Amino acid sequence: MAGDGTDQRALQYEQTLMYGRYTQELGVYAREEAARLREERGFKRSISERTRSLELLQYDQGRCAKCRICILQCQKLLISRIGEDWIFLILLGLVMALVSWAMDFCIAVCLQAQKWMYGGLESNIFLQYLAWVTYPVVLISFSAGFTHIVAPQAAGSGIPEMKTILRGVVLKEYLTLKTFVAKVVGLTCALGSGMPLGKEGPFVHVASLCAALLSKFMSLFGGIYENTDENKSRNIEMLAAACAVGVGCCFAAPIGGVLFSIEVTSTFFAVRNYWRGFFAATFSAFIFRVLAVWNRDEETITALFKTRFRLDFPFDLQELPAFAVIGIASGFGGALFVYLNRLIVQFIRKQKTINKFLMKKRLLYPALVTLLISTLTFPPGFGQFMAGKLTQKESLVTLLDNRTWAKQGIAEEFDYIGHSHEWKHPQLNVFITLVIFIVMKFWMSALATTIPVPCGAFMPVFVIGAAFGRLVGESMAAWFPDGIHSDGMIYHIVPGGYAVVGAAALSGAVTHTVSTAVIVFELTGQISHILPIMIAVILANAVAQSLQPSIYDSIIRIKKLPYLPELGWGHQEKYNIRVEDIMVRDVGYVTLNCTYRQLHDALMSGHLKTFALVESAESMILLGSIERSQLQALLTQQLGRQRRLEFLRERALSEKKQVNEDGGQKINQEVRFQISTEESSFSPPRTLSPKPLKPALKRPSERSTEIPTSPQDSGIALKNLFCAHPGTEGMEEEPYGEDDMTMREIAEWEEQQLDEQVNFNNCKIDPAPFQLVERTSLHKTHTIFSLLGLDHAYVTSIGRLIGVVSLKELRKAIEGSVTVKGVKVRPPLASFRDSGTSSSETEATEIHKLWDLHTSLSIPREHHPSDSDDKSH
């Protein structure tokens, strides 16, 4: 972790290099980079020397030397090949399969332990309750604590962050070894507690972490991707493949995994990555299932939740309306789930007293929630009405069972199989058990997923969907006891099929994906219900998408991650908005022949991250763009202490020259001194070189430390620039230290310096910022921004700069707050959606302001949301 600092700088450097930016600053960065490379090469050399010495050793031994040389050559080949994509993907698949399997094993052991404890204490119901409740509370508290201490970034699903990262935003701390450890350990404990949490979302994150670490590890061997610019684009491709692996090895669903990860994380997808995803996910799923066979859990490779529905007549055509009903109801349910989840987070945040209290005792909230949920599922208590004894996996297996539970009162019949009898309560109907289960699990899942531990919402929702489907199926079976088909043959209705449809529909509605259908096929190993499932999933999506954002987009909003929202499906009004309607006409620019004073004024005037460089204020021909930090560096260099000292020395020198006209060999010494000053005058840009913004969203007081030049170094004008409150403290106190200038002299000198013309030679200029024209539509602008991962684009008219559009304007326009041509442009059902988010609107803008302030002072596109805070408060 020693080279992390330079590494981060390198990554940001790439960031600014994105889409071919060219630097002319050959000074500081190049040197650092060279040093880093030298170090790395040294490491590589030591490796290769070791192998060479080994080789010599082998050669000396005589005997079966040929054989050994052969082995060594193979080894060499292997090392040279180790950087190749397919080896990387195989390794990734293998590692993830092992991780997934080991984690499943641990989770199973944990759950077994709870059951064993519960069973052992059957004599005393109070002790039994204590054991039942304490166990998950301890596990969840440990998980929350461990995550918080090791890496707060590991909490939550991880899919929203991956989505943001794949959009091109650097969220560096989300891809470290610490986060990996925290995520894996935290997730195992959280799932082992038996809470209604899922493994799938976090697994996407774990796989990405794994890919990032593996990539770092392998870069020690292969020297193929030495160029950092390419390394970046390759990393993104590998992360996309890793997301597929995550879902693939979690559900043993390679195809569904690839599709789900595409739908969930990407806006535009490169088909060549698709291949990578398929390759890695298949390998991973294969190993995952083979491990189960080797462990004697299974006889051969089969689906995770295998169903055994009849093949000849899976369903009747007349059952389709029922499936459609499931789809539509799931759509509403999914939207409600997302809404409820967000409501809980916002409620917890808003209640200031609760908030403060919880902030002090970070583990209290998880413990309380766990206590509540486990109390309600206590089997001899309320849990008996909702099959509380069953784990999530067992519930799913029973729900997908192909027998009918409610055959006109003969519900007793099914007590011979595995766990299905849990659904049968002596006093209650199966229907009522199911309804209780659905209602209770629904809010429990929505609540549980707000705990700041690594957890996903997919699996709980999947189970709830299955229960809902089973409920509809059982009702249908009770309604048509002999099936619907009228042509002689009797085909009974299969409620298990309805459960499959319900599971796919509800999880599709919550995540806004269609590929849950494919995941369901792969999970159950049967594809016979393909059309009902597809229809239900599509209907559920249509309903849910018009009501609420997906659970991941909702989290992105809650966490305020810098992500561009999607254009809705079929909102044609988007086609009528043009760039000229949303662009900011007052562009911050600097001219090629401007003075430092103008530069200073431009920097003082706003918080822009980048400035346009135009030929002159009259022609306004766009030449490129310059980052704020670069301009600040220029100004610092011009007004900095070094130059002032230099000026002083020069003045002194010329004075001395006049004085020492007669006597002196001192001149020689002076000259040498002068040279050394010149050298040191080269360093100021170094201190200003890009440095990642720390996760300090909530700590505005840290802002001043972000500025690398201390006020003492910077003089008056710079002080104005860098300090929020220029004030007068220290202005008169000391005559600026060692140099013999008074305040007045300094001011004079600065005035003089500010009137000089700016020399852009040592400045990093992006010569090809992206350009749009006034008539470009919002739709096209969105496409281009998503495609290229842009941050802002200039609007030009035949080379002349006339405006600028940034992500912010675009986001505003898409979210419908721009009025165009008298019509308020809004998505059809946005009002309902707004009511959900408006409560946090005020704090949102405040935090946004803060963020803008921050990013304006630092490097663009570097963002570290303090999500752990968001979650635990």
Interface residues for its own copies in 766-795 (CB under 8 A)?
767-768, 771-777, 779-780, 783-784, 787-788
Of 45, 306, 350, 651, which lies in the binding site for its own copies, with binding defined by CB under 8 A?
306
CB atoms under 10 Å from CB of 561, counted, come to 20
In whole angstroms, how close is the CB of 508 to its own copies at the nearest point?
A: 11
In whole angstroms, how close is the CB of 592 to its own copies at the nearest point?
A: 9
Contact pattern for its own copies over residues 178 through 217, marking x by CB under 8 A: ----------------------------------------
Number of residues that bind its own copies (CB under 8 A): 103
In whole angstroms, how close is the CB of 734 to its own copies at the nearest point?
A: 42
Which has the closest alpha carbon to 134: 193, 60, 61? 193
Question: Could you say whether residue 55 binds its own copies (CB under 8 A)?
Answer: no
Residues 85-104 close enough to bind its own copies by CB under 8 A: 85-86
* Eight-class DSSP state of 839: G
User: Are 856 and 363 spatial neighbours (Cβ–Cβ below 8 Å)?
Assistant: no
In whole angstroms, how close is the CB of 526 to its own copies at the nearest point?
A: 7
**Closer to its own copies by Cβ: residue 85 or 713:** 85
Question: Could you say whether residue 120 binds its own copies (CB under 8 A)?
Answer: no
Of 444, 534, 544, 599, which lies in the binding site for its own copies, with binding defined by CB under 8 A?
534
Q: Segment contacting its own copies (CB under 8 A): 187-195, 310-318, 439-447, 686-694?
A: 310-318
- List 823's β-bridge partners, or say none: 820
Which has the closest alpha carbon to 712: 749, 739, 737? 737
* Eight-class DSSP state of 172: G
**Closer to its own copies by Cβ: residue 391 or 777:** 777
Using CA atoms, how far apart are residues 428 and 329, in angstroms rounded to an integer? 25
* Angle 692-693-697 from CA coordinates, rounded to 5°: 160
In whole angstroms, how close is the CB of 547 to its own copies at the nearest point?
A: 16
> 735 by DSSP, 3-state: which?
coil
Residues 535-554 close enough to bind its own copies by CB under 8 A: 535, 538, 541
In whole angstroms, how close is the CB of 169 to its own copies at the nearest point?
A: 18
Question: Could you say whether residue 219 binds its own copies (CB under 8 A)?
Answer: no
Which has the closest alpha carbon to 857: 577, 631, 625, 646? 631
Q: Segment contacting its own copies (CB under 8 A): 221-229, 451-459, 808-816, 854-862?
A: 221-229
Using the Cα atoms of residue 286, residue 292, residue 295 and residue 296 in order, give the sign of their dihedral. Answer: negative
**Closer to its own copies by Cβ: residue 23 or 134:** 23
Half-sphere exposure of 808 (CA within 13 A, CB side): 12
Residues 269-288 close enough to bind its own copies by CB under 8 A: 269-272, 274-276, 278-279, 282, 285-286
Q: Segment contacting its own copies (CB under 8 A): 101-109, 342-350, 529-537, 641-649?
A: 529-537
Which has the closest alpha carbon to 159: 234, 89, 256, 247? 247
In whole angstroms, how close is the CB of 335 to its own copies at the nearest point?
A: 17
CB atoms under 10 Å from CB of 775, counted, come to 11
* Eight-class DSSP state of 802: E
Question: Could you say whether residue 480 binds its own copies (CB under 8 A)?
Answer: no
Of 569, 673, 682, 832, which lies in the binding site for its own copies, with binding defined by CB under 8 A?
569
- What single string gives the DSSP state of each residue in 806-851? EHHHHHHHHTT--EETTEE---TTHHHHHHHHGGGHHHHHHHHHHH
Question: Could you say whether residue 295 binds its own copies (CB under 8 A)?
Answer: no
b (16+ CB within 10 A) / e for 376-412: ebbbeeebbbbbbbbbbbbbbbbbbbeebbbbeeebe
CB atoms under 10 Å from CB of 666, counted, come to 11
Q: Segment contacting its own copies (CB under 8 A): 210-218, 570-578, 708-716, 817-825?
A: 570-578
Contact pattern for its own copies over residues 68 through 87, marking x by CB under 8 A: ---------------xxxx-
Torsion of CA 649, 654, 658, 661, to 10 degrees: 80
In whole angstroms, how close is the CB of 11 to its own copies at the nearest point?
A: 16
Residues 574-593 close enough to bind its own copies by CB under 8 A: 575-576, 579
Give alpha helix (H) positions in 61-84.
65-81
Residues 231-250 close enough to bind its own copies by CB under 8 A: 233-234
- List 611's β-bridge partners, or say none: 626
Question: Could you say whether residue 267 binds its own copies (CB under 8 A)?
Answer: yes
Of 128, 176, 188, 526, which lies in the binding site for its own copies, with binding defined by CB under 8 A?
526
**Closer to its own copies by Cβ: residue 19 or 217:** 19
In whole angstroms, how close is the CB of 715 to its own copies at the nearest point?
A: 30
Question: Could you say whether residue 314 binds its own copies (CB under 8 A)?
Answer: yes
Question: Could you say whether residue 424 binds its own copies (CB under 8 A)?
Answer: no
Question: Could you say whether residue 25 binds its own copies (CB under 8 A)?
Answer: no
Question: Could you say whether residue 818 binds its own copies (CB under 8 A)?
Answer: no
**Kind and range of the H or E element at 793?**
strand 792-797
Using CA atoms, how far apart are residues 198 and 196, in angstroms rounded to an integer? 7
Q: Segment contacting its own copies (CB under 8 A): 324-332, 516-524, 846-854, 857-865?
A: 516-524
Using CA atoms, how far apart are residues 608 and 353, in angstroms rounded to an integer? 37
Of 502, 624, 690, 860, which lies in the binding site for its own copies, with binding defined by CB under 8 A?
624
Using the Cα atoms of residue 433, residue 437, residue 438 and residue 440 in order, give the sign of their dihedral. Answer: positive
Using CA atoms, how far apart are residues 358 and 730, in angstroms rounded to an integer? 42
b (16+ CB within 10 A) / e for 605-616: eeebbbbbbbbe
